[in-house]
Amino acid sequence: MAYGSFAISSKALVFCRPCYGGSIRDLPFSLRTPTIGRCGCVGAIAAPRNLVKPRKEESSGKDIRGGRKSKDKTTPWKKLDANEFGIQRSMIPESTRMVLNKLRKKGFQVYLVGGCVRDLILDRIPKDFDVITSAELKEVRQVFPRCQIVGRRFPICHVYVDDIIIEVSSFSTSARTGKTPNKNFRKPVGCNERDYIRWKNCLQRDFTVNGLMFDPLENVVYDYIGGVEDIKNSKVRTVSAAKLSFIEDKARILRAIRIAARLGFSLTKDVAVSVKELSTSLLRLDPVYLSFFSLVLLLLARFGLNIFSRLLQSRVQMEINYMLAYGSAEASLRLLWRFGLMEILLPIQASYFVSQGFRRRDGRSNMLLSMFRNLDRLVAPDRPCAELLWIGILAFHKALVDQPRDPTVVASYCLAIYSDISLSEAMEIAKSNTKQHNSNFQELSAQDKDIAGSKLSQQVMSLAESVKSAAKKMHDRDYLANAMSKYPQAPSSDMVFMSRPLLERVQRMFGSVRRKGDGERGVPSLDRRINYKSLALGDFHETRRVFARIVFDTVYPPKI
C-alpha cells in the first residue's frame, strides 16, 4: 500500500483499536493487535509484531511436548484472553447460550470446543457450536429431558432447542473412549486437575486449530497444542503424526481439505504427503450409523423430507456436502484435484479436469468451477444449501460435457426450471435475451440465432432428459469405475456417494420442465431474495430457483 511518497507492507501495518477508530473485528486477523494505546500505526514500517501476546497459565509456567516434527520441539501451554481476539459472548447464538447457562447453573463446567472457537478467532461465522461439559451424559439428559444420546463408539448428546440441535459431549466419556496420549506428549508441570482434563481432551482432537476451548463465562481461550499459532500461520496440522492420525480416522483426510479450503489455509508438509499417500484409503471409509431412536427423533424435528436422504447418506457424502454446500465449493474442488482425491470421490469430474488439460496446481477456471464459484457467492456456513443443489450442478454439467448445448437452449431450460412458467414462454423470453454468453466454455455450442419453435422445444426437453441420465451415471458403479479408463495411471474408483432415494429426488427436481406453466407470467427476476431455510431443507421450488440462477449467471456472466 502506498501512503504519500512512501510504501508500506500490509503485513507490517498493524492497527490498534484507538488508531483504527472502529471495531477491531472489522479488520482481517492478520492486521489485528491486542494493543490498546499509542502505536503510530501508519508509520510503523517494521517487522510484523506478534498478533497475539498470550499470558501463560500461571499454575504452569512451563511448556509441554507437542505433536511436531521433533520430540524436542515444545508447544507453549497458553491461557488467552478472548478479548484479544475480539470474541464477545453476543456472538454465541441464543440456543447455545441457553444450553451453556443451564449446565452452568447445575454446577457443571462448560466450554465451547472445536471449529467454532477457531472460527470465532478468525471472525468467521461458525457452522455450528459444540459444547463439552464435566457432566456425565446421563446428567445432561436430566437437565434436558428431550435430549438424545447418540453414537456407540463416541457417544454424545443431541440437545434440541426448537428445531436446532446442539451437540454436547462429556469429558468423562472422552476419557473412557479416547485414545491414550502419545508418549511424546508430556503432562504439563504444575497443572491442576481441571487443566489436566482439558489438556487430555485437546490431545484427542484431529487438528491443532480444532483443539481450542473457550470458556464464555471467564472469557478465556485455552490453547494446549499450539492451535492459535497455526491459525496465525494459516496452517492445517494434525495433533498427532499425520499418517497415524489419518489411519486412525480416514475421514480426517477430507476434513483437512475442507478446513484448508474454507479458511484459505495450507497443509503442513507431513499432512500434505499423508493425504496423497493415503488417498485410496477413502474407498474403505466407514458408513454413518444412526440409532433407531435418533432416527425417530430427527424425523419428528420437522426438518422436512430432506432428512431421509441425510439419514441414508454415506459418510463420504456427508463430508463432500460439508465441502460443497457451505460456501467453499470451488476451493474444495481445486484442492481435491491438487491432492489426487477427486479421482477417488468424483471420478466423472476428475475425467473432465484431465480432458481440459488441468494441471494439479492449475490456476485457470472452467465451467464446472465457475458454477461452483457462483454457488459460493450465494451460500455460507450459516445458510447452506441441501445436497440436492450441488448434485444437480454436477449432473447438469455432466450432461453438457456429454453433449454441448446452444446457450439459448440452456437459457430456456433455466427459465422453465426457475419459475415454472410454460416452456413456450421460457423459450420466448430466452430468445429475447440480449446478454452475451461466455464463449470460452466448450460445453456450450455455437449459438444458432434461428433456433426456435419445435426444434428449440425438443432440445430443451432433451437437455432435461440428459440431466436425469447424467445423475443416473453418477449412481452407476460400473460407469464410475470406467470414468478414468482413458487414464490407466489414475486409481480406479466405483464409489457411489448418494442413495437411491436421493438420486430419484435429483432426477425429479432437475430432469423435468413443464410444457404448460402455472407459475408467474412475464420475465422472472433472477435477483429474487433466497429463502435460506427452504434451501437448506431441499425445498423443490427454492432449490430449482437457486440452481437456475447459478447456471444462468455462469452462462451469461453479469458485467462488472
Provide the annotated active-site residues: 128, 130, 206
Question: Cα(237)–Cα(227) distance, rounded to whole angstroms?
Answer: 9
* DSSP per-residue string spanning 361-397: T-----HHHHHHHHHHTT-BTTB---HHHHHHHHHHH
Indicate the helix (H) or strand (E) that contains 306. helix 306-312
CB atoms within 10 A of CB 500: 11
- Antiparallel, parallel or unpaired: β 6-7 and 55-56: unpaired
CB count in 10 Å sphere of residue 168 = 25
Residue type, 22: G
Cell numbers describing residue 400: 453438457
Cα separation values, 228 from 190, 209, 221, 235, 432, Å: 22, 7, 10, 10, 55
Residues 255 and 332 sit within 8 Å (Cβ to Cβ): no
Q: Which residues of 247-260 are buried (b: 16+ CB within 10 A; e: fewer)?
A: eeebbbbbbbbbbb
Integer-rounded Cα Rg, in Å, for the chain is 26
Q: Which residues pair with 214 in a beta bridge?
A: 112, 221
Task: Compute the distance between CA of residue 445 and CA of residue 485 in angstroms, rounded to an integer.
Answer: 26
Measured from the Cβ of residue 206, the count of other Cβ atoms closer than 10 Å reads 22
Buried b (16+ CB within 10 A) or exposed e, 316-353: bbbbbbbbbbbbbbbbbbbbbbbbbbbbbbbbbbbbbb
Q: Determine the distance from the C-alpha atom of residue 158 to the mean position of all C-alpha atoms in its chain, rounded to a whole number.
A: 21
Helix axes 423-431, 453-473, angle to 10 degrees: 110
SS (H, E, C) 127-172: CCCEEEECCCHHHHHHHCCCCEEECCCCCEEEEEECCEEEEEEEHH
**Residue in this structure with the C-alpha cell 481435491, named with its chain if needed:** 336
What is the distance, to the nearest Å, from the Cα of residue 514 to the centroid of all Cα atoms in its chain?
A: 34
